[in-house]
Structure 1
Amino acid sequence: MEYKILCFPITMPFGNTENTVYPTLLWDKQNIILIDCGFIGALPILEKELQGHGLSTEQLTGLVLTHHDHDHMGAAAALKRANPNIKVYASAAEAPFISAQKKPLRLRQAEEIQKTLPPEQQDFGKAFCDMLRLVEPVGVDELFQDRDHKDWCGGCRIISTPGHTPGHISLLMDKDSIVITGDAIALEDGLPVIANPQYALNLEQAATSMEKLLALKAKAYLCYHGGICSLTD
């Protein structure tokens, strides 16, 4: 095996429904890198998925967090406890929110929205804020800047894609022309869209970042919300 790039689903209950997200695994002879790790409590599901590929959490060498939202880093602290040797990567701009050096921007946003909700939505808003407060911080071992490069799976370039959050990053797999979008692009009804635009901390930047990734004309876009988007058919 030279290397594999795997996009797989994690499904968990969310209120009265279910929410499915798609982390990505970069697996070569030297590295096994997970891109985002799911919700609070997702570690057992993640472990089961890895076992299906003949892997364990203890074999992971790295965890890249595209940003600090709960559905991307919710299981990060638990994963770090299960595998203390795993190296955590994030952008320099996002790291303070991941490590709790600064109050998470998403929690600040939720608390402000909570103040404006009508009475019938107050309970949901409070529950959402409470859930965000339960996200455990995790230390970041290596800070990324725009255009940083790693040798993972034939070459991986870090792309700054702010908007959803200020320090959001995506990854371009150079050799295979694959973009791992994080929340810079979501897949809805087979089309690329801005992920949850109502929650983008800077919607104009989010639109620019999506256009930036689509301009790469990659063979595939691995979207955390929606799965694999191919625009070359």
Structure 2
Amino acid sequence: MNQIHFLDISFMYNGSAQVITPVLLQDEHEMILVDCGYPDFLPLLQEAAYKQHLNLGALTKVIVTHHDMDHIGSLAALKRAYPHLEIIAYESEAPYIAGKKTSLRLQQAQSTLDQLSADEKQQAEQFIHFLQSIEPIAVDRTVTNHEHLPWCGGIEIVHTPGHMPGHISLYVTASKMLIAGDAVVIENGRLEIANPAYTLDMQEATRSIRNLLEYDIEQLICYHGGVFQGDIKQALRELIQAYDQI
């Protein structure tokens, strides 16, 4: 029997309250975590799972939507705690997660240093140091666009570049659920593009949202915002229209 669990994790970051929603997919043989939060979030993940009467020791796989710090920060710790689990990511993301290539987010932060005031530069340098502290970990299996994985009712890999070039979302076939990652977020009940300042290619991001209209989505899960309430297709169309007018 296929089950879906939303691990809403509340925390403070830079003085503000935030929530992320990693997802657990489960069937008779697999327990799959999608994204894993910031560094040192392993206890928070374990606690969130425990509240739903789940033990992360049963994890078999982790699928990473992209290599931002809040999605892979605890990946190495998870692998140490549960060495049997398989880490899965999009083919172009694997070198960044493994530390073989410099994080695109780190490159972006470093490229802005010369344009900042002294105070801004100090904050940026702290952010750069934090990004450099993310522990790399090898990816066990890479996936490609439209690849179908046979677990938990069937999972289709949906390449949704824009926020990052190798960003993926997951379409769970049996439940018609889209796990969006950071392809879209929910702000004040509306769908938005995830923090435009951190989206590396806005045109690609908009194109990815347009491609999502091809899917029969009955439930949309955003990493930032959780479960979307409303007409999903209409909300996607309105978001596309908003950015087409810019």
Please, what TM-score do these two structures have when normalized by structure 2?
A: 0.90
Higher relative contact order (CA 8 A, sep 6+): 1
Unpaired runs of 5+ in structure 2? Answer: 233-246
**How far has the Cα of 1:208 moved from its partner?**
0.8
Report the Cα distance in structure 2 between the residues aligned to 1:181 and 1:63, rounded to whole angstroms: 15
Paired amino acid for 1:225 = H
Q: Provide the residue aligned with 2:67 in structure 1.
A: 68
Paired amino acid for 1:116 = Q
Whether the 8 Å CA contact 1:219–1:232 is kept in 2: the answer is no
Moved more, 211-220 or 160-169: 211-220
**How far has the Cα of 1:126 moved from its partner?**
1.3
Q: Provide the residue aligned with 2:240 in structure 1.
A: none
Paired amino acid for 1:18 = A
- Indicate how the Cα distance of structure 1 residues 179 and 209 shifts in structure 2: closer, same or farther if over 3 A, else same: same
Report the Cα distance in structure 2 between the residues aligned to 1:129 and 1:12, rounded to whole angstroms: 21
Q: Provide the residue aligned with 1:149 in structure 2.
A: 148
Unpaired runs of 5+ in structure 1? Answer: none
Moved more, 28-37 or 14-23: 14-23
Q: Provide the residue aligned with 1:163 in structure 2.
A: 162
Paired amino acid for 2:141 = E
Paired amino acid for 2:87 = V
**How far has the Cα of 1:122 moved from its partner?**
2.0
Please, what TM-score do these two structures have when normalized by structure 1?
A: 0.95
Moved more, 73-82 or 148-157: 148-157
| Matched residue SS, 2:12 | strand
Moved more, 108-117 or 82-91: 108-117
**How far has the Cα of 1:114 moved from its partner?**
2.6
The residue correspondences of 1:70-149 to structure 2 (distance < 5 A) are 70-149=69-148
Q: Provide the residue aligned with 1:26 in structure 2.
A: 25
Whether the 8 Å CA contact 1:156–1:172 is kept in 2: the answer is yes
Question: RMSD across aligned C-alpha pairs, in angstroms?
Answer: 1.3
Whether the 8 Å CA contact 2:36–2:74 is kept in 1: the answer is yes
Report the Cα distance in structure 2 between the residues aligned to 1:212 and 1:88, rounded to whole angstroms: 26
Q: Provide the residue aligned with 1:55 in structure 2.
A: 54
For this pair of structures, how many residues does the alignment match?
232
Paired amino acid for 1:38 = G
Report the Cα distance in structure 1 between the residues aligned to 2:30 and 2:13, rounded to whole angstroms: 32
Q: Provide the residue aligned with 2:235 in structure 1.
A: none
Report the Cα distance in structure 2 between the residues aligned to 1:13 and 1:134, rounded to whole angstroms: 19
Q: Provide the residue aligned with 2:237 in structure 1.
A: none
The residue correspondences of 1:199-218 to structure 2 (distance < 5 A) are 199-218=198-217
| Matched residue SS, 1:49 | helix
